[in-house]
Structure 1
Amino acid sequence: MFVKLSPLLAQYLLTHKELSLPGLGTFHAEAYGGPETATVTFEQQPVSKFDERVVAYISEETGKMKVLAASDLESQLEDAMQFLNTGKPYLFAGIGTLLKKSGGIYEFVANTQTEPPKKKDIPFTERNTVPQSYIEEKADNSKPKRPAVFILIALVVVAIAASVWFYSKTTTHKEPQQVADTTNQAGTSQPEAEKPADDTSGKKSAPTQTTVAAASQATATAPGMITYILETTKEPRASKRYNQLKKIDWPVELEKTDSLHYNILMKLNTPIVDTARVRDSLTVISGKKVTIRH
Structure 2
Amino acid sequence: MKLDILFSQYLYQHKKLVLPGIGTFTLDPAAAIPDETEKQRSAVTGITYDSKAVPKIEEELIEFIRSHTGKIRPLAVSDIESYISLSSQLLNIGNPLYIDGIGTLIKGKDGRLSFTPGSYASTKLEDLTVIRESTEPRRHDETFSRREPSGNNARQLLIGIAALITLGIIGGGAYYLYQSNAHKKTTETDAADSVANAVVTDSTTRSSGNAYMPDSNLIARDSAAIKRRADSLAALQNGSSQPDASGKIPLKYVLEVTANKNRALRRYAQLKEFGNDVQMQVAPDSSSFKLYFVIPSAYSDTVHIKDSLTRFFLNKVRIEK
TM interval, short-chain normalised: 0.3 to 0.5
TM-score (norm 2): 0.35
Name the larger-Rg structure: 1
TM-score (norm 1): 0.38
- Greater relative CO (CA pairs within 8 A, separation 6+): 2
